[in-house]
Amino acid sequence: MSAPLPPAAQGLRLDKALLLLPLELSRAALQRLITQGRVALNGQTITSASHKVQAGQHARVELPPPEPCRFEPEAIPLDVLYEDDDLIVINKPVGMVTHPGAGINQGTLVNALLHHCGAPDNPYGGLSGIGGTVRPGIVHRLDKETSGVMVAAKHDAAHVGLAKQFEQRTLTRFYVAIVQGAPQPARGRVEAPIGRHPVQRKKMAVVAGGKFAATRYKTLKAWERLSLIQCKLESGRTHQIRVHMAHIGHPLLGDSLYGRPFHAPKAWPDASREALEAFAHQALHAAVLGFTHPISREALRFETPPPADFLALIRALDNL
């Protein structure tokens, strides 16, 4: 595909400028094509996504042939909240990995979606290819131990429309979490840049030079040494809520990567102690996801309660 860059592209980064062309590609997909040497300006290959462009430059984008997905569909039950020809919204359970990765090629949401969306009796078949062969349909992700609302795209136009909303932060996203201690103030905003941990590369951290990240929180309930909070994301960095709450001294309950072990006080009732001991994952649930349908432009909003063990723990803590 080749075309001149429009006047609105003047001075933009190359990856952002290409979004102005009639390409059904997300910014992340464009960045991959740029680094692969598949983008040229006025005949010169550009491999830096941050390269500043001029309006009127002739852009050429070489689109590679689509690759077949190399992962097998699996008949894993899905809690489908909504589905049409363009997208599917599901309630992801605790313990399910979003997409295949190092050493994981089965049991993921992608495997389940490949089966569900490819079933002959499903009138809403298909998944977008923009996420690549490893992540077909995946627009965003939740951590393995985080439950809640997710949306996946059925085709590339839907994928691009959803990805732009994530990038432009026009969606509504609320999470609920149980944290250690009592955040002060009870309602606040954490703005701290997040990047890869300088030593422990599997972790993220608040680091100078990291990417902008902001989280708003408010306390819903306060118990002895634990609190239930609601979080609203202003950005979408990896492990953002976990990193930000740990940064202000209130890590998530059950978060072995960023938190610390929590032991119930001896004075707690047996039922509360048992509910805590039965809770075996981080206490984070993506409760609300609202967005504009990328094709129909209808405003959609989906809300799910936390999983049963999360609710049982809340009830037990209410009895303290």
Tell which phi-psi region holds residue 137, choosing left (phi > 0), alpha (psi between -120 and 50) or beta.
left
pLDDT at 24: 67
Q: Where would I find the H helices in 208-256? A: 240-247
Please provide residue 68's backbone torsions phi and psi, each rounded to the nearest 5 degrees.
Answer: -65, 145
**Consecutive H or E run containing 156:** helix 156-168
Q: What is the CATH number of domain 80-168?
A: 3.30.2350.10
Name the residues annotated as catalytic. Answer: 143
The label of the residue with tokens 């929180």 reads: 217
The label of the residue with tokens 């610390």 reads: 260
Across the range 175-179, mean pLDDT stands at 98
Q: Which pair of structure tokens corresponds to residue 196?
A: 């890869």
pLDDT at 29: 81
- pLDDT single digits (tens) 25-35: 778 888 989 99
Q: What is the CATH number of domain 2-61?
A: 3.10.290.10
| 245 contact partners, CB below 8 Å, separation of at least 6 | 177, 179, 183, 190, 215, 217, 229, 231, 251, 252
Q: Rank 123-132, 215-224, 256-265 by mean pLDDT and report only the highest.
A: 215-224
pLDDT at 121: 67
Q: Rank 27-36, 100-109, 181-190, 270-279 by mean pLDDT and report only the highest.
A: 181-190
Point out which residues pair with 232 in neighbouring strands: 174, 216
Q: For residue 71, is pLDDT > 90?
A: no
Tell which phi-psi region holds residue 223, choosing left (phi > 0), alpha (psi between -120 and 50) or beta.
beta
In angstroms, rounded to a whole number, what is the distance separating the alpha carbons of residues 296 and 205?
39
**202: buried, middle or exposed (CB in 10 Å: 19+, 13-18, 0-12)?**
exposed
Residue-averaged pLDDT of the chain: 91
Is there a contact between 181 and 154 (Cβ–Cβ < 8 Å)? no
Is there a contact between 259 and 247 (Cβ–Cβ < 8 Å)? no
Q: For residue 275, is pLDDT > 60?
A: yes
pLDDT at 151: 97
Q: Which of 59-68, 76-85, 167-176, 297-306 has the lowest mean pLDDT?
A: 59-68
pLDDT at 70: 66
pLDDT at 27: 83
pLDDT at 21: 86
**DSSP per-residue string spanning 91-114:** EEPTT--SS-BTTB-SSSHHHHHH
Superfamily of segment(s) 172-318: Pseudouridine synthase (3.30.2350.10)
**In the chain, where does the domain assigned CATH 3.30.2350.10 lie?**
80-168, 172-318
Please provide residue 108's backbone torsions phi and psi, each rounded to the nearest 5 degrees.
Answer: -95, 170
Across the range 279-308, mean pLDDT stands at 97
Q: Where are the beta strands (DSSP E) in the chain?
A: 2-4, 39-41, 44-45, 58-61, 80-83, 87-92, 147-153, 172-180, 187-191, 194-196, 204-206, 214-222, 226-233, 284-292, 299-303
- pLDDT single digits (tens) 88-106: 999 999 999 988 776 677 8
In angstroms, rounded to a whole number, what is the distance separating the alpha carbons of residues 77 and 204?
31
**In the chain, where does the domain assigned CATH 3.10.290.10 lie?**
2-61
Is there a contact between 171 and 291 (Cβ–Cβ < 8 Å)? yes
Q: For residue 3, is pLDDT > 80?
A: yes
pLDDT at 124: 60
Across the range 73-91, mean pLDDT stands at 95
Share of the chain above pLDDT 70, in %: 93
| 201 contact partners, CB below 8 Å, separation of at least 6 | none
Q: For residue 297, is pLDDT > 60?
A: yes
Extract long-range pairs of 306-310: CB within 8 Å, 24+ residues apart. Answer: 306/147, 306/176, 307/93, 307/94, 307/147, 309/278, 309/279, 309/280, 310/147, 310/178, 310/279, 310/283, 310/285
**Consecutive H or E run containing 32:** helix 27-35
DSSP state of 195: E
pLDDT at 138: 87
